[in-house]
Amino acid sequence: MTVCALSLGSNLGNRLGNLRRAMESLRAAGKVIAKSGAYETPPWGVASQPRFLNACVAMETDRTPEDILSAAKEIERNLGREHRERWGPREIDIDILTYGDISLDEENLTIPHFHMRERAFVLVPLEDIFPEWRHPVTKESIHDLLEATGREGIIKITSL
């Protein structure tokens, strides 16, 4: 079994409900062993859109990273995600952040997630579930990464 971390985000519809339904759906791909709080965060990439709710989950799985990616995309479709502009509004977004301590760079999948080092909306909830995590390539701690990105505008609103 491998432990992986996934990021969940929503800024359309019932944001908290979308996060909770996504997390429950992930149970089909592995055992959820930790979940962060839900954080309201400013949009990233496209500023003129509603604020997001973001969270992270950790799960043990015997599935490959590609299998987890496929499951995540299916969950997004099942929860009504419509593809709009890149980094624009969405009903649900599920990204693989980490998968064990591997580093993977393929056409459709990069682990650790390519942009996670610059996204406080990912790092803050990731710290809830993996406070001792270190980037497998750069060896930076989650604390160091958060020092660089800051926590501005990120508000914990509830538990998942």
CATH number at residue 126: 3.30.70.560
| Per-residue pLDDT at 120 | 95
Active-site residue, from 15, 21, 63, 93:
93
State yes or no: is 93 an active-site residue. Answer: yes
| Per-residue pLDDT at 15 | 97
Q: Which amino acid is at 103?
A: S
Based on the structure, what is the number of domains in the chain? 1
Smallest CA-to-CA distance from 29 within 81, 70, 80 is with 70
| Per-residue pLDDT at 83 | 76
- Rounded CA-CA distance 103/88 in Å is 27
Say if residue 11's pLDDT is above 80: yes
Say if residue 57's pLDDT is above 80: yes
State yes or no: is 128 an active-site residue. Answer: no
| Alpha-carbon distances, residue 55 vs 34, 78, 149 (angstroms) | 11, 19, 17
The partner residues of 6 in beta bridges, in order of sequence, read: 57, 96
pLDDT tens per residue, range 73-106: 999 999 988 777 776 799 999 999 999 989 999 9
- DSSP assignments along 13-46, one per residue: SSHHHHHHHHHHHHTTTSEEEEE-EEEEE--SS-
Domain that holds residue 84: 2-159
Say if residue 46's pLDDT is above 90: no
State yes or no: is 95 an active-site residue. Answer: yes
Which phi and psi angles does 9 have, rounded to 5°?
Answer: -145, 145
Cite the DSSP H helix spans in the chain.
15-26, 65-78, 120-129, 142-149
Query: 110-111 and 104-105: which strand pairing?
Result: antiparallel
Computed over every residue of the chain, the mean pLDDT equals: 94
| Per-residue pLDDT at 51 | 96
**Residue 150 neighbours by CB distance under 10 Å:** 11
| Alpha-carbon distances, residue 64 vs 3, 44, 77, 114 (angstroms) | 11, 29, 20, 18
Active-site residue, from 15, 21, 63, 90:
90
State yes or no: is 84 an active-site residue. Answer: no
Confidence of residue 137 (pLDDT cuts 50, 70, 90): confident
Active-site residue, from 95, 134, 144, 151:
95
Active-site residue, from 15, 21, 81, 119:
81
CB 39 within 8 A of CB 53: yes
The predicted model scores a pTM of 0.93
**Residue 127 neighbours by CB distance under 10 Å:** 20
